[in-house]
């Protein structure tokens, strides 16, 4: 538990019609509704909402660093930028509900729905402030000792980032649950990212993916149906993987093959392993990667990232991944 004061600068953006001071138990703000698949805590009222059809959102994913922000605090040291449709919703709840109960309810709901936690933190004696209240991108999270008016802080907050898949889209959920005087505030930002992993993933993006999640997914490595022969159109992607590995000679990696659920399971296990081995051999023989850095495995359709019930889902599940050992 952090004994810190939290300053959130453009962190979660709740942003339309904020002049309407809805209180817990009053009707929702006109035009606002729950995000599909994420139910609100019972008794919560929507105070404000906004939708940005396409934008960048910055997820804070590490403890504070040492970069000063206007004398009020320090920036988080690690961010993940995600781009896509951003849906912001602010809920209000009575103080007697308790922030721990609200946090546990959201956490149970999201994990049961298949979301995984990327980062979570609890702060004591914290501030809640956004410099650009009408912004939209999640901005910079700052740790400080007071608010921008010099007032000391005595509130508690939870900050959690989740990742999941819905309708073949990568979804990120940023939750900020805390106290604000007479009520509990839940700031919920949902980012539906454009599935960029269906195309080329650069060495820089591989580095970011592995730093944040421990693995990186590739859909731009192509094989003939039922074959482990790599198509030449995969060269650009394999070259980017090789570039990344050569930049990290101190690390070792698993190359893992995945299939959809079509066909015999045992055959898919063999096929996924052979495809992983083919990529590994290509990295070593064609691009000069050190074979000692790599091991190859196949897992068939044991680890889907979305449902195999549609052709689009099957396409996302057929993939190769690099996983840090």
Instruction: Identify which of 318, 306, 311, 299 has the alpha carbon closest to the alpha carbon of residue 260.
Output: 318
Q: Cα dihedral sign for 304, 324, 55, 72? A: positive
Residue 270 banded pLDDT, cuts 50, 70, 90 = very high
Domain range for residue 11? Answer: 5-193
Average pLDDT over residues 126-131: 47
pLDDT value, residue 153: 57
* Whether residue 21 is found in the same domain as residue 128: yes
| Residue 237 and residue 171 share a domain | no
- One domain, residues 183 and 303: no
My answer on whether 81 and 131 are in the same domain is yes
**Do 162 and 172 form a contact (C-beta atoms < 8 A)?**
yes
φ, ψ (nearest 5 deg) of residue 103: -60, -50
List the single range of 42-46, 65-69, 165-169, 203-207 with lowest mean pLDDT.
Answer: 65-69
Same domain, 201 and 189: no
Q: Are residues 17 and 163 in the same domain?
A: yes
Which of these, 285, 293, 220, 287, lies nearest to 255 by C-alpha position?
293
Residues 173 and 47 in one domain: yes
- Whichever domain contains 292, its CATH number is 3.30.1330.60
> Where does a domain end: 137, 160, 193?
193
User: How does pLDDT run across 157-173, given as a tens digit for each residue?
Assistant: 788 899 888 776 789 99
Check pLDDT > 50 for residue 12. Answer: no
Query: Both 175 and 93 in a single domain?
Result: yes
The pair of three-digit structure tokens given for residue 277, joined into one six-digit string:
């081995």
The domain total for the chain is: 2
- Please give the DSSP secondary-structure letter assigned to residue 223: B
Model confidence over 249-264: pLDDT tens digits? 999 999 999 999 999 9
Average pLDDT over residues 61-82: 55
Q: Who wins on pLDDT, 119 or 141?
A: 119
What does pTM read for this prediction?
0.57
Counting residues of the chain whose pLDDT is more than 90, the rounded percentage is 38
Residue 138, pLDDT score: 43
| Domain finish residue from 170, 193, 216 | 193
Q: Which of 158, 193, 228 is the last residue of a domain?
A: 193
**Residue 37 binned pLDDT confidence (cut-offs 50, 70, 90):** confident
Domain shared by 99 and 144, yes or no:
yes
User: Which residue's structure tokens are 């901005």?
Assistant: 139
Q: What was the pLDDT predicted at 62?
A: 66
Structure confidence at residue 126 as a pLDDT band (50, 70, 90): low
3-state helix, strand, coil in the chain (%, to 5): 25, 40, 40
| Same domain for 91 and 123 | yes
pLDDT-derived band of residue 53, with 50, 70 and 90 as boundaries?
A: confident
* Beta carbons within 8 Å of 69's beta carbon, 6+ residues apart: 7, 9, 75, 140, 142, 144
Residues 123 and 163 in one domain: yes
What was the pLDDT predicted at 129?
A: 45
Q: What is the pLDDT of residues 271-284, one digit of tens each?
A: 999 999 999 999 99
Same domain, 31 and 173: yes
């Amino acid at each position: 538990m952090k004994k810190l004061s939290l300053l959130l600068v453009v962190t979660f953006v709740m942003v339309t019609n904020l002049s309407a001071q809805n209180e817990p138990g009053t009707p929702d703000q006109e035009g606002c509704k729950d995000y599909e698949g994420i139910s609100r805590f019972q008794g919560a009222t929507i105070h404000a909402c906004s939708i940005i059809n396409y934008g960048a959102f910055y997820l804070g994913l590490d403890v504070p660093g040492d970069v000063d922000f206007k004398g009020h605090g320090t920036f988080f040291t690690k961010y993940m930028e995600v781009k896509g449709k951003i849906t912001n919703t602010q809920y209000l709840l009575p103080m007697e509900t308790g922030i721990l109960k609200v946090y546990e309810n959201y956490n149970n709901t999201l994990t049961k729905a298949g979301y995984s936690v990327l980062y979570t933190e609890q702060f004591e004696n914290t501030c809640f402030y956004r410099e650009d209240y009408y912004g939209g991108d999640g901005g910079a999270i700052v740790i400080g000792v007071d608010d921008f008016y010099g007032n000391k802080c005595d509130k508690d907050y939870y900050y959690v980032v989740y990742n999941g898949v819905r309708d073949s889209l990568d979804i990120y959920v940023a939750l900020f649950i805390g106290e604000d005087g007479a009520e509990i505030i839940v700031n919920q930002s949902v980012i539906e990212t454009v599935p960029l992993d269906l195309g080329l993933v650069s060495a820089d993006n591989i580095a970011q993916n592995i730093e944040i999640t421990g693995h990186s997914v590739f859909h731009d490595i192509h094989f003939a149906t039922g074959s482990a022969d790599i198509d030449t159109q995969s060269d650009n992607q394999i070259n980017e993987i090789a570039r990344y590995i050569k930049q990290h000679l101190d690390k070792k990696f698993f190359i893992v093959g995945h299939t959809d659920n079509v066909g015999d399971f045992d055959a898919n296990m063999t096929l996924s392993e052979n495809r992983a081995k083919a990529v590994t051999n290509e990295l070593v023989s064609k691009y000069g990667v050190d074979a000692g850095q790599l091991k190859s495995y196949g897992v068939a359709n044991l680890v889907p990232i979305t449902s195999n019930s549609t052709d689009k889902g099957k396409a996302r599940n057929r993939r190769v991944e690099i996983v840090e050992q």
